[in-house]
Structure formats: C-alpha cells, structure tokens
A and B are shown apart, each in its own frame.
Chain A
Amino acid sequence: MSDRFTEAVGRRLVSRASAEELGNLSHLVVDVKRRQITSLVVGKGRKATVVDWDKVSGFGPDAVMVVDESALRSPEGDHEQAAAGGKLELLGKRTLSDMGNELGPVSDVVFDPEKGGLETLVIGDREVEASSLLGAGSYAVVVRAPADAGS
C-alpha cells in the first residue's frame, strides 16, 4: 500500500504509550539523496515540533502512531528550522528539470508508509519516479528531465 503527501498532511499523531493526541502532521521532511522521509513536522509556526521517522511505530491511514510523547523534539539546526517552517515542503514547490525547464508545481508525492521511502512525484498530470529526484531546496525541486520535457 502506498500513501500520499496530500492525504497524510493534517493526519493526527497519537502516542502509542499514552493514547494521547500529540498534534497534526504539517510537513514531511525528506532526505533527497536517499529518497526517504526522515522526520515529520507536527504543528505549525513557532510551536512546530519534529518527530524522527524511526520514532514512528505505525503510519496508518487514520493516525500516525509514535512510540511516546518524548518523540516530539524541537527542530535543530538550519535545515530542520527551515523544514519546520515549511520552506522545504515538496508539495506545491516549483519543479525544474536538470535542463533548466519548469515542469510545474509538485501536486503530490507517493510514498511507502511502512519504510518511508518515496515512490513517485506527481507534477501536474505527469508522474515522475522518485529515482529521478536530484535535489530539493527552498527554490525548487530538481528532477532528471523526463523524455518529453521541454516540448
């Protein structure tokens, strides 16, 4: 089974240990090189906290279960601060091919909820394998040019 960023955002996080709701998922943070979700951002603005992927015990369709409340931590370093602020969010970000042509904004990201691996980027009506993902930053997501890019 695959899950999608557009469906996962807003999902509640629940502590497996206490059954308490911990907040709602606002961003998924991705390691582009490994094409892997590394952490989740919970809440927004200055109150945003981070949960590392290895503290997620079950990424389910109705709730994201995390081991316990101690899994929530403050964002550390520039990269996580930027991620917590939503600056690195893939959804809605402009896509550039490595040839320097815009392909449109990222409309969805399909991922494996078991392992957190990225599977497909949806860019407009085009689907691009996650293996084509070259980089992502505050300005753009960069993908290897699909065969029909630029036409």
Chain B
Amino acid sequence: MTIARIVAALIALTLLATVPLWIANGFYVNIVSQILIYAILALGLNILVGYGGLVSLGHAGLLGVAAYTTAWLLSRGAGQLESAAAALVVVVAVSATYAVLSLRATGIGFLMITLSLGQILWGTAYRWISLTNGDNGITVTSRPQPLGIPIASANGFYYFTLIVFLAAIASMALFVRSPLGTSLRGARDQARRMTALGFNVWLIRFFAFLFSGFWSGVAGLLYCYYQQFVSPQMMALPASAEALLMVISGGTGTLLGPVVGSLLVVIIKNVASAYIERWNLVLGAIFVAIIVFMPEGLVPGSVRLGRWLWVQIAGTPRPATAAKEPAP
C-alpha cells in the first residue's frame, strides 16, 4: 500500500468516525447508516459482478432472506443473537442453493436465473402470508445490544453499522488479494485457461457466491435493525437492480466503487426526493451521464481523469501503477 493510499484511508476513517460530530441531525446520521448498509450489500454483490464477472439480479432476495429470518424469529420470541446467527446460516444455505442453480450458466443465463430466484423469494414473501404476513410485513420491536451497548439511537446504530462496514471492507480486501480471490479473477478473465491450469472454476465461483451471499445477509440483518420492519418490497426486483446500479456506477472490481455507488444512490433517493418530485428522472440522468463519460464507473473513471489532468498540468505521465502487483 502506498503512503498516499494509507493517508487517504486514514482521512476516510477519521471522517467516518466523526460523522455524528459534524452531522448533528439524527436524520442525516441515519442516512449515512443507510449508505453503509447498502455499501455492504453492494460490496457483497461486487464480489460476483466485479471479481467474478457474474452479474446477479437477485441479491435483494438474499438481503431479504436474512432480514425476514431474523424478524420472524424475533417476532416469535427468539433472542437477538440466536436470530442473527440463524439468519446468517439460512442466508448462506440459500446462497448455496442460488449458486448451485445459477452457476450452471454464465453471462445472460446466470443473470436470468438469479433474477428468477430473486423473484421466487419476493413472491414467497408476498404471498406466503401465514409465514411472512404478506404485504403487511413483520415489525421488529427492538434493536440488539451488542456487548450490552445500546444501539437504539441514531448515533449508536451508526457506530455499530460502521464497525460492521469496516469488517466487511477488510474481509473483502483480504479476499480479493488472496489466492482464492485471485483465482476468481482468473476465472472471470480466462475460465478455460484456468481449468487447464488445474483450477476448479465452478467451485471457486461457488465459494465466491457464498462469501457474497454472507455479506448480503449481513446487510439484510442491519437493514432489519435499521428499519425495524421488513416487507416484500425490500427484496423486489427494483431493489436488486438498485444494488447492481450501485456497483456499476461506482466501478466494478474495485473496493471503493460500490461504496461510492451506494453513496450516490442513497443520497439521491433520500435527499433529492425531498426536493424533486420526479427524482427517479435525476437518478436515471446521472446514470446515463456516468455510462457516457465514465463507462468504467465513478472510481476508475476519476482515477483516469486524475491521470489525464496530471499529464495536462505536469506534462509527463505519472509512473504506471499497473506494472507493480496485479490490482485486485
């Protein structure tokens, strides 16, 4: 890691740690919590989309499975820890089922299978009323108290979410640099060659799916605690598409991209919608602009723009970073 990157990470960490100090309004602190929750979902999805080359349109289903499992268990008197643990076990099991069914294909076939699985889960939540309470959803009456620390307030919940977010990003950073993460990128770029080299491409993708599903489930848990309510809406197709847009707009195959994408989408959804009635139009226009001007996403696009500006100002290109070690 270069000194510039370490400094940037420290600045980002300081900013994140002091959010409640410079944003006094609890509403906006909650918005930042929401950004972090969606960032965890987008980071999880990015493992498949960015590093695995597998575009999923069913990840909101995994988010919903974890949220519904914990909400359902809590509504039946189970403890917070048991509910959370069970939710994660269930979401990993559902992810395994997703993976077994969808990894029969790649490309558009994979996308269609994940879309269908997501719709099945949404339909189940919507129509299996005796289990899920249908469109009325399930209300969660309380948030957990990790290590006895209450997280009922906006600030308390924010710090809890921040810790989970940092754990997510650290685990992703480790994963993408690890042999398994490297193999996943290899399978994305040259599946045939990887097989000839002795890799089990299917199994690599399967493990990546479980990892991705696990973090989507963690995001679902946080979503459940945040909203204290779950409904079929959270696992509908637009929610999956939104998560995918976060990944694509920020930049696939980068750790920062999905975070930036989440920031963009959540701010437009929550803030712009308060002032502009047709905020969807604004969101759409922004996405079109990103695709036209920075098709690789905001983060890689900004890096490219920065390099171009450097050349314009300094007159010489910056030393190539690609010649170091493979970028994750």
**Chains A and B form a bound pair:** no
Q: Which residues of A contact B (CB under 8 A)?
A: none
Q: Which residues of B contact A (CB under 8 A)?
A: none
